[in-house]
């Protein structure tokens, strides 16, 4: 009887411990979902925070209030090994060294404005020129280099709200522009970016995210072996300073034809300098539609791009030169990452035939882009 009682007691203890461990594991998994916040340093006299968004599958996206930067996106590959598919750094200091817009929110105007000048009605405006003779990505201190206010949306899973007010005259732009950006990591492994803005003076607005992707998760691998499809029958040719010449040309029979999926490296030698061009998306309205598919055979990862925007800037990391290093110390060289920036066309304020980017007082700027990841096993 003593033996039976001892055994029963031991069994009961074992069951109890197992129950507690299982409950602890379950609680831990549940607690991983949502958002956590970490102090990430200071700049411009302001605290900077890093938010970690985690979905039910354990996929993680980290976003900094400095620049609204997507610093990492950790996802599994076809062998369930996880790695980071975007360029970024583990510390704020990496971004203060001013890398070329890694993961950042870009504004007021993503892409280039010729000679930093444009007119609204009869008023001439002059912007900062920070890309040779042209204005690029909002100027010397665009939205990628300011500290955004942040709040967690408690009514949504893994949703971060960022806000910033760009004052009248900032970098030469007219009007006080109030911007709100909503990042959501869904349980379907989608990173949804919703942009909203209002102004008290007519001003050009063209917001985008400048994440650099390498689906292999390793910058030792070139993105020239990635396969890409873009739903665009036309593109906007550019001059030697990458300003559109005002024409819209067919991609048919050119190196710019991605209407059927092909390896990025197949025709890149026929594009002087590499791809850094705006593709005119084959859309009939402004609804959210799939516009591009990027895939990698090494990892099995596939990235779909959905947007409400009329254009997609496809950039093959032509100016990456090894100056910056990845987290593992490997140099970030040319063609080791690419950008798929949803947007309006470059230099639209100076091209009346392009879709307008002028936001008027009393109107709402609103657009959504979704990057959806999946794995082919």
What tens digit of pLDDT does each residue of 184-209 get? 999 999 999 999 999 999 999 999 99
Q: What pLDDT does residue 154 have?
A: 74
pLDDT digits (tens, 9 = 90+) for 317-333: 999 999 999 999 999 99
Q: What is the dihedral of CA 217, 228, 238, 133, to 10 degrees?
A: -10
Determine the pLDDT at residue 17.
39
Residue 14 has pLDDT above 80, yes or no: no
Confidence of residue 29 (pLDDT cuts 50, 70, 90): very low
Task: Write down the pLDDT at residue 32.
Answer: 57
In this predicted structure, the answer to whether residue 217 has a pLDDT above a threshold of 70 is yes
Residue that wins the pLDDT comparison between 20 and 369: 369
Show the DSSP H helices in the chain as ranges. 2-32, 92-96
Fold of 35-375: Beta-galactosidase; Chain A, domain 5 (2.70.98)
Q: Is there a catalytic annotation at residue 210? A: yes
HSE-up (13 A, CA, CB side) for residue 86? 28
Q: How far apart are CA 153 and CA 159, in angstroms?
A: 5
pLDDT of 60 > 70? The answer is: yes
Does residue 89 sit in helix, strand or coil? coil
Look at 11 and 354; give whichever has higher pLDDT: 354
pLDDT at 5: 42
Q: Which H or E element spans position 292?
A: strand 289-295
Identify the active-site residue in 170, 190, 309, 341. 341
Cα distance from N-terminal residue to C-terminal residue, the chain: 56
Q: Give the β-pairing of 159-166 and 365-375.
A: unpaired
Nearest-5° angle of CA 251, CA 366, CA 85?
A: 60
Segment 285-310 shows an average pLDDT of: 98
* Whole-number pLDDT of residue 206: 98
List residues bridging with 306 in a β-sheet. 290, 370
Q: Which of 135, 137, 210, 344 is catalytic?
A: 210
With a cut of 60, say whether residue 230 has pLDDT above it.
Answer: yes
Structure tokens, 230: 């873009």
Contacts of 28 (CB under 8 A, 6+ apart): none
Q: The tokens of 153 are what?
A: 């949306």
Tell whether the model's pLDDT for residue 18 goes beyond 90: no
Model pLDDT, residue 65: 98
The rounded Cα 176 to chain-centroid distance in angstroms is 24
Residues 322/332, Cβ–Cβ less than 8 Å: yes
Model confidence at 56, pLDDT cuts 50, 70, 90, reads very high
The pLDDT of residue 220 is above 90: yes
User: Contact at 8 Å (CB) between 333 and 320?
Assistant: yes
Find the mean pLDDT for residues 132-156: 94
The lowest-confidence range among 4-8, 37-41, 115-119 is: 4-8
Q: Which residues pair with 189 in a beta bridge?
A: none
CB neighbourhood size of 348 (10 A):
26
Interval 105-116 mean pLDDT = 98
From residue 91, give the alpha-carbon distance in Å to each of 48, 63, 327, 356.
Answer: 11, 12, 10, 38
The mean pLDDT of the chain is 92
Residue 312 has pLDDT above 70, yes or no: yes
Residue 153: pLDDT band (50, 70, 90) is confident
Beta bridge partners of 230: 292
341 is catalytic: yes
CB 46 within 8 A of CB 40: no
Burial 99-123, CB ≥16 within 10 A → b, else e:
bbbbbbbbbbbbbbbbbbbbebeee
């Amino acid at each position: 009887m003593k033996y039976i009682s001892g055994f029963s007691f031991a069994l009961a203890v074992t069951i109890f411990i197992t129950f507690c461990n299982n409950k602890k594991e379950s609680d831990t998994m549940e607690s991983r979902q949502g958002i956590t916040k970490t102090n990430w340093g200071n700049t411009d006299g302001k605290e900077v925070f890093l938010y970690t968004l985690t979905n039910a599958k354990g996929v993680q996206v980290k976003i900094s209030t400095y620049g609204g930067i997507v610093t990492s996106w950790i996802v599994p590959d076809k062998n369930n090994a996880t790695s980071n598919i975007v360029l970024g750094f583990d510390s704020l200091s990496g971004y203060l060294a001013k890398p070329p817009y890694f993961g950042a929110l870009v504004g007021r105007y993503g892409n280039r404005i010729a000679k930093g000048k444009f007119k609204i009605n009869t008023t001439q405006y002059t912007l900062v020129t920070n890309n040779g003779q042209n204005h690029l990505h909002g100027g010397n201190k665009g939205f990628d280099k300011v500290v955004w206010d942040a709040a967690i949306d408690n009514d949504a899973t893994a949703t971060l709200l960022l806000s910033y007010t760009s004052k009248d005259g900032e970098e030469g732009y007219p009007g006080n522009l109030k911007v709100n950006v909503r990042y959501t990591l869904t349980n379907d492994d989608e990173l949804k970016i919703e942009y909203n803005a209002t102004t008290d003076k007519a001003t050009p607005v063209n917001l985008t995210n400048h994440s650099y992707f390498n689906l292999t998760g390793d910058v030792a691998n070139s993105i020239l072996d990635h396969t890409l499809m873009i739903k665009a029958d036309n593109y906007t040719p550019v001059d030697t300073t990458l300003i559109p010449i005002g024409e819209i040309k067919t991609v048919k029979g050119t190196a710019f034809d991605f209407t059927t999926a092909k390896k990025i490296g197949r025709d890149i030698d026929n594009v002087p300098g590499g791809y850094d061009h705006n593709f005119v998306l084959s859309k009939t309205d402004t609804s959210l539609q799939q516009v591009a598919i990027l895939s990698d055979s090494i990892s099995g990862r596939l990235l779909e791009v959905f947007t409400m925007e009329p254009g997609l800037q496809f950039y093959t990391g032509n100016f990456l030169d090894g100056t910056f290093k990845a987290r593992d110390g490997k140099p970030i060289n040319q063609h080791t990452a690419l950008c798929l920036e949803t947007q309006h066309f470059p230099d639209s304020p100076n091209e009346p035939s392009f879709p307008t980017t002028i936001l008027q007082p009393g109107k709402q700027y609103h657009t959504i882009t979704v990057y959806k990841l999946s794995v082919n096993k």
